[in-house]
Every structure is written in structure tokens, then in C-alpha cells.
Chain A
Amino acid sequence: MAHSAPSTQVGPGEAKTRRDFLLYATSATGAVGTALALWPFIHSMNPAADVLALSSSDIDLAPVVPGQAITVTWRGKPVFVRHRMPEEITAAQNVDFSTLPDPQKDEERVQKQNWLILVGVCTHLGCVPLGQKTTDPRGAYNGWFCPCHGSHYDTSGRIRKGPAPLNLAVPPYVFTSDTTIRIG
């Protein structure tokens, strides 16, 4: 009874087509509906409004003297702010940048020569490189040295030696006055 052909009005081939159409239409509607219903669940794991609200930080640079570096927080990550000495700037500029693993001019990485601002996260696997304190190991190029897997960064934060593929990232920032910046 239930296993037999659905109707005597239409031939077996026709019935199959109609039934197939219903099956595909139902399945497609179900699949689209399920996907739409899953989106809120997936999206709830993206940054929430209060997390996004923390996406900019204001920094006062006035107390930072030449040769000093400070670490500030932006989006939960360390941001290195180094007040570079003249010799550090010269060292960064006098490199044939085309020979570097991630070629970039020093001028492209700073807005004002003496202020170097970088996201302090190694581009290899996310450790925080050493070099903020004068007593830290700063690697072979006097910039930063990542203790996890031995990446050396120079005084422009560019990768020079070691496994990291890219230079330390420069966050988006603006000088809101001569001595203050807003990151993000």
C-alpha cells in the first residue's frame, strides 16, 4: 500500500519527476533556512560591541625621552612606542631595503622620524619580542629580538634574521597633537 506508486493519474516517470522536484525543493529550503539560522550563532563569536569600542587608544608621548621605549595596550595587544636616537634613525635609513626579507623603506614605516610605533607581536607565531628595555637583548640589529624562535628586528622593526616572514606591523595611528597619538 504505502510502498506502491503514489497515484494512478500520472505515469511512473512523471510521478518520479514530480516527487524529485518536491524533494529537492524541500531540501533546498531546509538547507537555506538552516544556514540562515546558524549565522546568528556563528556571528555571536565575533567581537562584540564593547570589544569593538576598545579599538582606539590615546597615548601621551611627552614624558618619553630619546632612547626610551614604552609599551601601551591597543585591542589587547602590546604596541611598542620607541623614541629613536639619531644614530638609530640613520641605521634604519642606510640599509639597502631591497635586500631585506620584507622590503620596506624606513620612511614608509614612520610618520615622524624619531617616533617608531609598532604592534609588538612577532610575525612568526605571536610572541612579544624583547628590546623595550635597554637591558633587554635587542638582537643583531639593535632593534628587537624574539626569544621564542630567534627572530631579529632592526631599529625600524623590520625582520632581518630568523623565521618571522614579515616586519613588525605598523598600527593605524594619527598625531592628534605634537605630543599625543591616537592608535586605531
Chain B
Amino acid sequence: MAVSSNRIVRWVDDRLPIFTLMHHSTSAYPTPNNLNYWWNFGSLAGFVLVVMILSGIFLAMNYTPHTAHAFESVERIMRDVNYGWLLRYLHMNGGSMFFALVYIHLFRGMYYGSYKSPREVLWWIGVIIFICMMATAFMGYVLPWGQMSFWGATVITNLFSAVPLVGTEIVTWLWGGFSVDNPTLNRFFSLHYLLPFIIFGLVVVHLWALHTVKSNNPLGIDIKGPQDTIPFHPYYTIKDLYGIGLFLMFYLFFVFFAPNFFGEPDNYIPANPMVTPPHIVPEWYFLPFYAILRAVPDKLSGVVLMFAAILVLFVLPWLDTSKVRSARFRPIYKQLFWIFFLDCLILGWIGAKPPEGAYLVIGRIATVYYFAHFLILLPLTGWFEKPRPLPDSIGAPVITTVKR
């Protein structure tokens, strides 16, 4: 097909159909015409990924991955490097934004059943991206080599010491020594630089899978024909840009007016391997999983349960036995979804509290409910729930309204 009347473009395209590919995947991509604003968060997350990679590359030009210089080099970025403070605050807060957007993206997928057939692989790649993000964020948090960096690195790497038989050997291997030290910092820097590009590649695969099976939509029913779609460009490019505009106001508010809102003051104390801060908390986006870890009094079980809380997402497409995708037509699931959402917030709140007294009890109940939601409630609801009637097509509800 003729992608352009430009002769040079056509000459290249005949030999490498890159313009055809771009046209198909960005411009002409047939998108359901009923997407609501919850569908903005995928492109927003992609936007933040680019901001993170860019600001990270420029930060790395001034950062020194050595225990004796890391903290100082970050302070130099803040004080001496031109706009260094801006780059660092964009990167710091960008991490929080990235997780916030991806969590909304994930809950949107859960509400509208975006993980169901034929989108299981698309969902898996999303979960893999999420896991890579967690690893990247964790290692990035270690780089400034403050107290929270050091003790966060110590606690998280020690999770692997729970592995039976070879736990100690694994942790020594992760550290490259017998404690978190310079070799650890060096490899974390290397991997922190590498992983975002792997995430970028995964995003491309995510989009590939998406464009193969096409976008889900708020009604959760299949596209019946061209009358149900509009081309991505200009309709959704402009809608995504509008979303980016609103998001930038939110993001930059924190960057310029509350840059340390999501951070811990203790991380402005240089790392001291001899003294642990009295109150260790991870970044907010890890809190629900941290709460699950601490809910269990046994070391190995706690670690296993924490990883299971993430890995259970892989089998979600089969745990949810209902054939209906969108929660709009699932009266019981809709309520369960919001209870589950609340449960995640409770876990997050508990993760920030000391593990004692009532907090421990609430944390345990919330943990049990988290797994019960996936393993018991979802399969049962699928079997027993009576869904509301689905519309005939994406256009049908609108057309009916017009007729009336």
C-alpha cells in the first residue's frame, strides 16, 4: 500500500517496510470507539518510561557507583550540576508516578477483564514488566547510598537467604562479598541501567500482543466490525496527549513543590553499615507486599507468600472462570473488585506501620483476603454469578439511545 506520496519514503519502504509498520501500528490501528479515560494509563506509563530513561542517562553522566563517592556524587548533582536537582527530582518522583500509573493500569485490566482470552499473553507480558519495574526501582533506590539505600538493599537481598540449603550461598553471590558493599553497588548500578531497556523491549512486545488481539473496551465485548472502531490517530493520539498534559501537572507539582514527598529523610544520611535506622520502610509502592511478608511469623513462608502475591497474577486468567469480561455486567464481581482494591490499600497502610499489636492482626486478615480473592472468590463467582445481559455490539447502546 502507498504509505506516502514522497518518493524517498516509498523507496525506503519498498526495501524495509518501516513506514508501513509505523502507519499500521500507530496511525491506522483500529481502536474501539468507546474507550474511557482509564485507557489513558498505558500510554502515560510509556511516557514516564521514556522520561525515566532520559533523566537516568543524564544522571548517570554525573553519578559515581562507588561506596566512597556515590552519596557525594548525588549531592554534587543536587548542588553543582546545571539543573541536576531537576533531573534527580524528575527521576525520583518519576519512579513513584510510574508505579502509580501502572497500578491504575493493572486495576483497570482487572475491572474490565482485560486479562481474559484472547489477551492472556498480553497480560503476562504486563506482569513481567511489573516485576522488572520492581527490580529496577529497588536497585535504583540503593544507588544514592544513603541509610535507607543500604538497609533496604540488606533486607531485600536477605529475602533470598530464606531459600533452603543454598540460601547463604545465593546471598553471598548477590552481594559479591559477605555484606552489602562496593561490589553490590557496582552490579546494582549496572543492572539498574540495563533493566529499563529490557522493560522498553517488553513494552514493544506488549504492544505487539495488544495490536494482534486488539484493545479491550469498557463493555468487554469483541469488536464486531469497522463500525465499532476508529483509527488511533488522530482520535486517541490527541486524547492521550490531553492525558499527558493533565498528568504532567500532577507529576511536576511534586517535582517542583514537594520533591521529597515520597522519600524517606533517612536516605539523606550517608550509608552506615554499623547502624540500622530505627524504622525501616520501603517506598510506598512496595508496602502492600511488605505487609504480606511481615504477616507471616515464619521466614521462608513469608518470602514465599510475598512472591506468590505477585506470581498469582500470572494465573489470574484461569482463576477468573467467568466468560464475561467487563465488571459492568457482573454485579457480584464488581463488588468483589472494590473490596479487593480496598484490601490492597489496607495492606499498603499496614506495610507502613510497625508489625505489632492490632496492625499485625489486620495485616494477617488482609493477607488472607488477598489470596482468598484470587483462589476462592474469583472461581466461585464465575460459576455462580448471573451476569447482566451484554449489548449486541459496541455501538448498540448508543444507537438505542439515539432511536429513543
Contact = CB atoms under 8 A, between A and B. Distances in A.
Interface in B207-253: 227, 230-231, 235, 238, 241
B69 to A, nearest CB: 13
Interface stretch (B81-89, B175-183, B312-320, B379-387): B81-89
Interface string B152-171: 00000000000000000000
Contacts of B79: 49
Contacts of B241: 26, 30
Contact of A48 (B33, B76, B230, B235): B76
Nearest to A47: B82
Q: Is the interface of A mostly helix, strand, loop or mixed?
A: helix
Contacts of A35: none
Contact of B83 (A1, A2, A30, A40): A40
Given A48-B80, A49-B80, A50-B76, A40 B62 contact: no
Given A44-B83, A46-B82, A2 B58 contact: no
A41 B76 contact: no
A45 B55 CA distance: 12
Given A46-B82, A48-B62, A41 B87 contact: yes
A112 interface: no
A39 to B, nearest CB: 8
A149 B235 CA distance: 61
Contact of B82 (A1, A30, A48): A48
A23 to B, nearest CB: 9
A44 B235 contact: no
A112 B54 CA distance: 51
Contacts of B8: none
A40 B84 CA distance: 8
Given A41-B54, A41-B58, A44-B61, A50 B80 contact: yes
A40 B235 contact: no
Contacts of A48: 62, 76, 80-82, 84
Interface residues of B, number: 21
B33 A2 contact: yes
B401 to A, nearest CB: 15
A26 B245 CA distance: 12
Interface string B44-58: 000000000011001
Nearest to A49: B80
Contacts of B238: 26
Interface in A41-58: 41, 43-46, 48-51
Nearest to B57: A41
Interface in B70-124: 76, 79-84, 86-87
Contacts of B86: 40
Given A2-B33, A2-B230, A44 B80 contact: no
Interface string A104-128: 0000000000000000000000000
A40 B82 CA distance: 7
B81 A40 contact: no
B235 A43 contact: no
B82 A44 contact: yes
A48 B58 CA distance: 13
Contacts of B80: 48-51
A40 B87 contact: yes
A46 B231 CA distance: 43
B249 to A, nearest CB: 13
11 contacts: A26-B241, A40-B86, A41-B54, A44-B58, A44-B61, A45-B61, A46-B82, A48-B80, A48-B82, A49-B82, A50-B80
Given A41-B58, A44-B81, A46-B82, 8 more contacts: A2-B230, A30-B241, A40-B87, A41-B55, A43-B82, A48-B80, A49-B80, A49-B82
Top 7 closest A-B pairs, CB basis?
A: A40-B83, A49-B80, A48-B80, A50-B80, A43-B82, A2-B230, A48-B81
